Amino acid sequence: MTQITLRRPDDWHLHLRDGAMLRAVTPETARHFGRAIIMPNLMPPVVTGAQAADYRERIRAGIPEGSDFTPLMTLYLTEETDPADVAKAKAQGIITAVKLYPAGATTNSASGVRDFDKVRPVLETMAEHGIPLCVHGEVVDGDVDIFDREAVFIDRVLDPIRRATPGLRVVMEHITTKDGVDYARAGGDTLGATITTHHLVINRNHILVGGIKPHYYCLPVAKRETHRQTLLEAATSGDKSFFLGTDSAPHTDPNKESACGCAGCFTATNTMSVLAEVFEQQGALDRLEAFTSLNGPAFYGLAPNEARITLEKGDAVRYPEKIETGDGPVTVFDPGFPLHWRVV
């Protein structure tokens, strides 16, 4: 096969930031993607419907002329979130989902949830109105090893939340382990899981062997190779539970290449070429569309995009090593192998 046409893909987990960074990275996603679920972890976070509406306007201002890219907004769940504000923001078409960060789990998550009982009324309202909860699934307890935090979260937090709030639609975001894959597979219609581009490519050796590679450091941190293999099987299986959420998370090079570097891989620019390569290596190019363009909308109760994109196989495709932003350069994810599929 040397050409493949897909429904325009969507990104079900994306960081666009704000200001100069937003203006630089939004076109990178809008080039190939139809819609994206926009993460609310700004400083300060997007916690009310009014703030989400304002943020959406700032994003719209950064979308290139002629692009039909649609940002789907989320609210950042805090212990103070008002269930009525969430229901209203959904009814007004401002938000698509609500994001749960355990306090301290990742970049800008200090306002996240500590006591999950405190957000029960919001979760009940969301179940009633069919508003999905997007979950950063890692515990933050200092006594839990960082490589075990996803598995422990499923047992200690996620499963109890789902049992206590039947009907709540949950997206396990950026799963990185076999534990995550197994739990998502068994979760039925109310449970979905996103998988990032980079977690299909790197394992923890990529971060740590031969010198520390800050541009491969993200959260949840990449795990051992057996977990990556399980993620690959899940993403290429066609199973409706699994869909693309790139978690493209730009940080400037000085913030990554530091004694205390930020977590996040920036994959917006070359995600479709990387995924086509990976799916081809797995003999699963015919299931790429399910992962990037069909399973996500189905979970969110939305129609797939009508527009199509075509990828063509040829000589190695070159992407810029960095994109320039008003805040400084941002390094584009390097998969470590040549890419042959170009979006035409």
Asked if 139 contacts 112 with a C-beta cutoff of 8 angstroms, the reply is: no
Q: How far is CA 239 from the centre of its chain?
A: 18
Is 85 among the residues known to form the active site?
no
The full DSSP string for 102-132 is: BTTSSTT-TTSBS-GGGGHHHHHHHHHHTPP
Distance in Å, CB of 3 to ligand NCD, minimum: 33
Q: Report the partner that residue 263 touches, choosing among Zn ion, ligand NCD, none (CB closer than 5 to 8 A by kind).
A: ligand NCD
Distance in Å, CB of 263 to ligand NCD, minimum: 3
Distance in Å, CB of 270 to Zn ion, minimum: 18
Measured in degrees and rounded to the nearest 5, phi and psi for residue 166 equal -60, 145
Distance in Å, CB of 39 to Zn ion, minimum: 5
Tokens of 76: 């950042």
Q: Report the partner that residue 106 touches, choosing among ligand NCD, Zn ion, none (CB closer than 5 to 8 A by kind).
A: ligand NCD
Q: What is the DSSP letter of 8?
A: P
Tokens of 295: 């399973």
Distance in Å, CB of 136 to ligand NCD, minimum: 6
Q: For residues 157 and 219, which CB has a smaller minimum distance to Zn ion in the complex?
A: 219
Q: For residues 101 and 291, which CB has a smaller minimum distance to ligand NCD in the complex?
A: 101
Tokens of 240: 């409706």
CA 9 vs CA 44, 60, 131, 297: distances in Å: 30, 19, 22, 10
Q: Report the partner that residue 330 touches, choosing among Zn ion, ligand NCD, none (CB closer than 5 to 8 A by kind).
A: none
Asked if 263 contacts 255 with a C-beta cutoff of 8 angstroms, the reply is: no
Q: Report the partner that residue 294 touches, choosing among Zn ion, ligand NCD, none (CB closer than 5 to 8 A by kind).
A: none
Shortest-Cβ-distance residue relative to Zn ion = 247
Tokens of 7: 């429904």
Asked if 134 contacts 173 with a C-beta cutoff of 8 angstroms, the reply is: yes
Residue numbers of the site for ligand NCD (CB under 6 A)? 15, 41, 106-107, 136, 218-219, 247, 249, 263-264
Q: Where are the alpha helices (DSSP H) in the chain?
A: 19-30, 49-62, 83-91, 120-129, 149-153, 159-164, 178-185, 204-208, 225-235, 253-256, 271-281, 288-289, 295-300
Q: For residues 45 and 304, which CB has a smaller minimum distance to ligand NCD in the complex?
A: 45
Q: For residues 194 and 236, which CB has a smaller minimum distance to ligand NCD in the complex?
A: 194
Asked if 244 contacts 10 with a C-beta cutoff of 8 angstroms, the reply is: yes
Q: Report the partner that residue 218 touches, choosing among Zn ion, ligand NCD, none (CB closer than 5 to 8 A by kind).
A: ligand NCD
Q: Report the partner that residue 197 touches, choosing among ligand NCD, Zn ion, none (CB closer than 5 to 8 A by kind).
A: none
Separation between Cα atoms, residue 32 and residue 237, nearest integer Å: 23
Distance in Å, CB of 101 to Zn ion, minimum: 9
Q: For residues 218 and 294, which CB has a smaller minimum distance to ligand NCD in the complex?
A: 218
Q: Which of 10, 247, 327, 334 is catalytic?
A: 247
- Residue at 326: amino acid letter: G
Query: Considering the rule CB under 5 A, would residue 138 count as an interface residue with Zn ion?
Result: no
One of 179, 247, 289, 334 touching Zn ion (CB under 5 A): 247
Binding part of the chain for Zn ion, among 73-81, 193-201, 239-247, 325-333 by CB under 5 A, reads 239-247
Q: For residues 11 and 247, which CB has a smaller minimum distance to Zn ion in the complex?
A: 247
Kindly tell me the sign of the dihedral angle through the C-alpha atoms of 236, 238, 242, 248: positive
Which residues of the chain form contacts with Zn ion (CB under 5 A)?
A: 247
Residues tagged active-site: 247
